[in-house]
């Protein structure tokens, strides 16, 4: 199969931890032809979704951090000419990302198999999508109103605030009732009513980790990666200094995952990363879920193998 991977610049990939690298290594080992391009190399020309892509050969599958690939000459052609397309551009989910989903959606109409489905990605804001599953979510408020955000803290004693397009733990604030900085936090985030803000009841179980639970092709990966905050922090994100610890899923983790997996897979979301704190989901990640390598390294479960199995099956349908 000719596999096109849309990703960030190759020199930025850290092979010891990057999930896209693990996917490509596994696909190459099975004999699939790899092609890569960046987001800006997608276009619409003469009514067709096009990509300027380069063939990639994996030269080092060890993840040692040295040179690991060779690139061929750039080839321009229809996105639909590939057997499958992986959209692995990391957030932020900005307007350029939205425009890319429109181009890829056009490619789907031409017969391309794009994972995750671009329409489903666009329709699933990673913060707001938990509203579909209130039985698994902590009390949540989304609003532009400063008064409502302050009242939410009063009601729940302590809350976490985040922007709907945030990533990697950036611009996340924690506030308690009576916090003298509460109004400043609200004003900073909602920009005096210009931006929507999500407030969630603070979950003290974060001390035990913000768990990344992976769903692949409607099936549940049996291990999660608990991102444990560093001393003095409440954010578990690895980008914010959290420490990743692979663990078997708890009964509650599995209950949540098995309830969501078939519904999300039916929408064309081949790979989903649930964020679970304690008993509650806090986000549903669909753009570029990660943690493949940490789980394999610590628990011995080959997530990339499971993913490529699912990719092959979905591409053949």
Among candidate residues 201, 235, 237, 296, the one labeled active-site is 235
The one catalytic residue among 89, 150, 201, 227:
227
- Is residue 62 assigned to a domain? yes
Residues 270, 234: Cα–Cα separation, whole Å = 30
Co-location of 275 and 217 in the same domain = yes
Starting at the edge strand found earlier in the chain, the sheet holding 210-216 runs: 243-248, 219-228, 210-216, 271-277, 280-285
Residues 238 and 269 in one domain: yes
pLDDT on residue 169: 66
Asked whether 210 and 177 are in contact (CB, 8 A), the reply is no
173 located within any domain: yes
Domain end, chosen from 63, 85, 119, is at: 119
Asked if residue 144 is part of any domain, the answer here is: yes
**Does residue 92 have a cis peptide bond before it, meaning omega lies within 30 degrees of 0?**
yes
| pTM for this prediction | 0.94
Is 211 one of the annotated active-site residues of the chain? no
Q: What is the percent of the chain with per-residue pLDDT over 70, rounded to a whole number? A: 97
pLDDT on residue 92 = 85
Range of the domain at 272: 205-302
Residue 72 placed within a domain: yes
pLDDT at residue 232, rounded to an integer: 64
In this structure, is residue 315 part of a structural domain?
no
Cα distance between residue 142 and residue 183, in whole Å: 17
Among 126, 212, 253, 294, the active-site one is 212
Residue 189: give its domain's CATH number: 3.30.1490.20
Assign residue 281 the CATH number of its domain. Answer: 3.30.470.20
Q: How many domains does the chain have?
A: 3
124, part of any domain: no
212 assigned to active site = yes
Residue 272 in domain: yes
Computed on alpha carbons and rounded to an integer, the radius of gyration of the chain in Å comes to 20
Question: Is residue 267 domain-shared with residue 171, that is, in the same domain?
Answer: no
State the Cα–Cα distance between residues 6 and 233, nearest whole angstrom.
34
Q: Any catalytic annotation for residue 283?
A: yes
Judgement on whether residues 181 and 239 belong to the same structural domain of the protein? no
- Residue 18 is a catalytic residue: no
pLDDT tens, 264-301?
999 999 999 999 999 999 999 999 999 999 999 999 99
Q: Which of 88, 89, 113, 162 is catalytic?
A: 162
Domain identity same for 210 and 245: yes
User: What is the tens place of the pLDDT at every residue in 155-212?
Assistant: 999 999 999 988 766 779 999 999 999 999 999 999 999 999 999 999 999 999 999 9
Separation between Cα atoms, residue 225 and residue 284, nearest integer Å? 15
Q: What pLDDT, in 10s, does the model give residues 18-63?
A: 999 999 999 999 999 999 999 999 999 999 999 999 999 999 999 9
Residue at which a domain ends, from 177, 202, 227 = 202
- 294 with 211, same domain: the answer is yes
Question: Does the residue 133 lie in any domain?
Answer: no
6 with 41, same domain: the answer is: yes
Residue after which a domain boundary falls, among 69, 89, 119: 119
Active-site residue, 127 included: yes
Question: Is 285 found in the same domain as 212?
Answer: yes
Is 17 in the active site?
no
- Contacts of residue 301, defined as CB under 8 A and 6 or more positions apart, other chains included, come to 221, 222, 223, 295
61 and 144 both lie in a single domain: no
pLDDT at position 12: 94
Give the domain CATH number at 71: 3.40.50.20
Same domain? For 15 and 65 the reply is yes
In terms of Cα–Cα distance, which of 159, 148, 301, 116 is closest to 220? 301
Do both 62 and 40 map to the same domain? yes
Query: Which one of the listed residues 18, 285, 294, 296 is annotated catalytic?
Result: 285
Q: Specify which residues 197 forms β-bridges with.
A: 143, 163
**Which is catalytic among the residues 18, 26, 126, 283?**
283
Identify whether residues 28 and 112 lie together within a single domain: yes
Q: Is 179 a catalytic residue?
A: no
Asked if 72 and 52 count as a contact pair (C-beta separation under 8 A), the reply is: no
């Amino acid at each position: 199969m000719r596999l096109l991977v849309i990703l960030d610049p190759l020199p930025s990939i850290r092979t010891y931890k990057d999930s896209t690298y693990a996917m490509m290594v596994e696909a190459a080992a099975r004999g699939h032809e790899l092609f890569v391009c960046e987001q800006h190399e997608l276009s619409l020309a003469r009514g067709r979704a096009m990509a300027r892509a380069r063939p990639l050969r994996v030269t080092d599958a060890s993840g040692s951090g040295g040179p690991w690939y060779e690139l061929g000459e750039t080839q321009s052609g229809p996105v639909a000419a590939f057997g499958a397309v992986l959209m692995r551009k990391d957030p932020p989910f900005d307007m350029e990302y939205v425009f890319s989903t429109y181009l890829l959606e056009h490619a789907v109409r031409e017969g391309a198999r794009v994972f995750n489905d671009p329409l489903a990605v666009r329709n699933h804001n990673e913060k707001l999508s938990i509203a579909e599953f209130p039985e698994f979510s902590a009390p949540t408020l989304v609003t532009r109103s400063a008064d409502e955000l302050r009242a939410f803290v009063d009601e729940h004693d302590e809350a976490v605030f985040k922007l709907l397009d945030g990533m990697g733990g950036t611009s996340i604030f924690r506030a308690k009732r009576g916090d003298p900085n509460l109004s400043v936090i609200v004003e900073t985030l909602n920009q005096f009513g210009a931006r929507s803000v999500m407030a969630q009841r603070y979950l003290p179980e974060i001390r035990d980790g913000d768990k990344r639970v992976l769903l692949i092709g409607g099936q549940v990966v049996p291990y999660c990666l608990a991102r444990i905050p560093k001393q003095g922090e409440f954010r578990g994100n690895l980008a914010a200094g959290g420490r990743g610890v692979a663990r078997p899923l708890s009964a509650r983790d599995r209950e949540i995952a098995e309830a969501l997996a078939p519904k999300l897979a039916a929408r064309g979301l081949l790979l989903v990363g649930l964020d679970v704190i304690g008993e509650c989901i806090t986000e549903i990640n669909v753009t570029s879920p990660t943690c493949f390598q940490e789980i394999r390294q610590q628990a011995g479960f080959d997530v990339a193998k499971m993913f490529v199995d699912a990719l092959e099956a979905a591409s053949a349908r």
